[in-house]
């Protein structure tokens, strides 16, 4: 990303401050790793409840990421054009879940999709009950993760500009063709990294899920909820599971910000998420 | 030249800010200016109302002292204390977490049991599933929420299930009793197993349906001064207030049973 900044050295105090910042982030992780009960690590992370939570987290996060792409890409495309009316007002609003405390997000979702919620009563008439279902987990994760995709993709769209689209349009390509043949291939790396960030955020989602979806093994108890619960009785299990969560998240962020080659990364991601999510 | 000077100034400002931030964060700096005595109390979340009231009475009875309260789940507090959190008194909602603190952080003398609590069925005010007994919760289609068995309210729920010979199939096993209460008061669930004091504190947002088997799981609340306390005399006085007649009265009014 910052290939253009290799020419000159940074002032010493910047490097020093960066080192402090890096330590601030890495030290707690190291402290956690030091507390791991290695002889029990494998049995702890492969217990029934742990595997159920991990599987559920990977499945729901994958579906949430897909929903983020389906709903978020059009949002980013619209926001990146300055011609959308009310866009200045709309952007901070749709990005709200980014700054909203997750518990507040959960309450808002409850008032929307819950049994007595805004849409809940209509859904109830249709025989759909969201409360305490895996769908509620996916809704909560999508709600909190979508802004990551929108922000990331909108930034890429604005940086890449509209010159190529303009040329394609001049040559007679219709808007749909411009979008699929020019715009999206251009911003694919941004889309992939946005999707990865969304996946990582969905994987770590706790507050909204707890408030909105509940907590039952196999259907709504995701890995972060399982970690919190394990802490009650077996802190060693909680720490071991935390490391698994960190490892998956690091892998995901690594893919997102790794070397160039967006489509190769996308393929890796797809095969990886398929392998990681049984059924 | 000016650029270098500006940079040096920025670095100095940054260093100053950092130093200020660090000193503001260290507890020693904050306490240096306060001549008064402070007792820090870690108490189970279910004690929030009663302990806030008791702390107020303690401060009135001991001019110049202040009571700092920290409320959370008992296991959360026990974990914090065992990791070295500075506190003078610990009041737990169960004996298991007090035992954890006794074994690790250490307490002064023996913990005193000062209150008890039993489970009840919380239902939304309209009681949409027409719940009148524990057996009603086992009816198919009734959405029941309980605590997970790892948390004290969940362990109590399992005990009453066994005592009553009822097998529940909860739609969710929540991480805390407040989460159970929230699911019931919001109407997401038809019923939940919570403590008597929770339904009392919830006011009109939930109704309580009592059941006989609840006495099978009486939760005992122990309190103790901590070995690491900096003011053991004051800590002991707070424990005496809670375990004494005044504490009994305030706790009884909130629905807590006798120890």
Query: Is the model more confident about A48 or about B36?
Result: A48
Whole-angstrom Cα distance, residue B72 to residue B76? 6
Q: Mean pLDDT over all residues of chain B?
A: 87
Residues from A contacting B (CB-CB < 8 Å) are 11, 13, 17, 110, 114-116, 131-132, 210-211, 214-217, 220-221, 225, 228-233, 235
- Is B151 in CB contact (< 8 Å) with chain A? yes
In chain A, the number of structural domains is 1
User: Would the pLDDT of A272 be above 60?
Assistant: no
User: For residues A257 and A192, what is the distance between their CA atoms, to the nearest angstrom?
Assistant: 9
A78 in a domain, yes or no? yes
| Predicted local distance difference test score (pLDDT) of residue B31 | 44
What pLDDT score was predicted for residue B27?
45
With a cut of 60, say whether residue A261 has pLDDT above it: no
Angle at A233 between CA B116 and CA A135, to 5 degrees: 100
| Within a domain: A114 | yes
Q: Where are the alpha helices (DSSP H) in chain B?
A: 2-25, 27-32, 48-61, 74-82, 95-103, 152-164, 177-185, 196-201, 232-243, 245-253
Residue A186 included in any domain: yes
Give the CA distances from residue B79 to residues A31, A56, A143, in Å, rounded to whole numbers and listed in that order: 16, 28, 32
Q: What ipTM does the predicted assembly reach?
A: 0.74
CB contact under 8 A, A225 and B175: yes
The answer to whether position A7 is within a domain reads no
Q: Is B172 left (phi over 0), alpha (psi -120 to 50) or beta?
A: beta
| A7 pLDDT more than 80 | no
Q: What are chain B's domains?
A: 36-116+220-253 (3.40.190.10), 119-216 (3.40.190.120)
> Whole domain around residue A116: which residue ranges?
42-276
Q: What percent of chain B has pLDDT above 70?
A: 86
Q: Looking at residue A199, which CATH number applies to its domain? A: 1.10.3720.10
Considering the domain boundaries, does residue A29 fall inside one? no
Q: Is A199 part of any domain?
A: yes
Per-residue model confidence as pLDDT tens digits over B92-127: 998 999 999 999 999 999 999 999 999 999 999 999
Q: Which of B75, B172, B186 sits opposite A220 (nearest CB)?
A: B172
Q: What confidence category does residue B152 fall into, taking pLDDT thresholds of 50, 70 and 90? A: confident
Residue A124 lies in a domain: yes
Over the Cα atoms of chain A, what is R_g? 21
Name the residue with higher pLDDT: B222 or A274: B222
Distances in whole angstroms, Cα of residue A235 to Cα of each of A26, A220, A231, B146, B254: 21, 21, 4, 22, 33
Q: How far does A213 lie from chain B, in Å, by closest CA? A: 8
What pLDDT, on the 0 to 100 scale, is given for residue B26? 45
With an 8 Å Cβ cutoff, is B174 touching chain A? yes
- Which residues of chain B lie closer than 8 angstroms to A132, CB-CB? 143, 171-172, 188-189
| Position A36 in a domain | no
């Amino acid at each position: 990303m910052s290939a253009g900044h290799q020419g000159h050295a940074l002032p010493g105090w910047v490097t020093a401050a960066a080192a402090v910042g890096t330590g601030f982030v890495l030290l707690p992780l190291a402290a956690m790793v030091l507390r791991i009960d290695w002889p029990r690590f494998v049995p702890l992370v492969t217990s029934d409840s742990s595997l159920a939570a991990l599987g559920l987290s990977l499945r729901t996060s994958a579906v949430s990421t897909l929903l983020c792409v389906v709903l978020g890409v059009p949002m980013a495309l619209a926001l990146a054009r300055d011609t959308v009316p009310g866009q200045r007002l709309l952007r901070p609003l749709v990005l709200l879940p980014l700054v909203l405390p997750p518990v507040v997000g959960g309450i808002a979702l409850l008032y929307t999709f819950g049994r007595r919620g805004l849409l809940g009563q209509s859904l109830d008439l249709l025989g759909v009950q969201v409360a305490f279902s895996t769908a509620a987990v996916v809704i909560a994760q999508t709600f909190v993760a979508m802004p990551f995709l929108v922000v990331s993709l909108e930034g890429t769209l604005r940086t890449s500009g509209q010159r190529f689209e303009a040329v394609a349009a001049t040559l007679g390509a219709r808007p749909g063709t411009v979008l699929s043949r020019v715009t999206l291939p251009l911003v694919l790396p941004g889309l992939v990294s946005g999707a990865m960030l969304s996946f990582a955020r969905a994987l770590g989602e706790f507050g909204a899920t707890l408030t909105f979806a509940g907590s039952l093994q196999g259907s709504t108890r995701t890995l972060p909820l399982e970690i919190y619960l394990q802490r009650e009785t077996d802190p060693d299990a909680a720490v071991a599971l935390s490391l698994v969560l960190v490892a998956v998240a690091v892998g995901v962020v690594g893919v997102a910000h790794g070397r160039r080659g967006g489509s190769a990364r996308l393929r890796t991601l797809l095969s990886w998420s398929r392998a990681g999510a049984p059924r | 030249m000016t650029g270098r000077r500006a940079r040096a100034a920025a670095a100095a400002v940054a260093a100053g800010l950092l130093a200020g931030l660090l000193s503001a964060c260290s507890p020693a700096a904050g306490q240096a200016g306060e001549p008064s005595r402070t007792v820090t109390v870690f108490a189970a979340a279910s004690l929030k109302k009663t302990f806030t009231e008791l702390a107020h009475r303690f401060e009135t009875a001991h001019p110049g002292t202040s009571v700092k309260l920290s409320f959370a789940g008992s296991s959360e507090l026990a974990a914090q204390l065992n990791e070295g959190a500075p506190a003078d008194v610990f009041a737990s909602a169960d004996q298991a977490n007090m035992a954890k603190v006794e074994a690790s952080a250490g307490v002064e003398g023996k913990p005193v049991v000062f209150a008890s609590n039993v489970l009840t069925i919380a239902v939304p005010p309209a009681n949409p599933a027409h719940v009148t007994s524990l057996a009603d919760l086992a009816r198919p289609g009734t959405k029941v929420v309980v605590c997970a068995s790892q948390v004290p309210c969940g362990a109590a729920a399992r005990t009453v299930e066994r005592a009553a010979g009822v097998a529940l199939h909860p739609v969710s096993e929540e991480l805390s009793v407040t989460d159970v209460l929230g699911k019931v008061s919001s109407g997401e669930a038809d019923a939940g197993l919570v403590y008597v004091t929770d339904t009392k504190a919830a006011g009109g947002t939930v109704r309580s349906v009592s059941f006989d088997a609840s006495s099978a799981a009486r939760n005992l609340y122990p309190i103790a001064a901590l070995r690491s306390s900096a003011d053991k005399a004051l800590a002991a006085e707070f424990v005496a207030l809670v375990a004494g007649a005044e504490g009994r009265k305030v706790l009884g009014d909130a629905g807590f049973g006798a120890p």
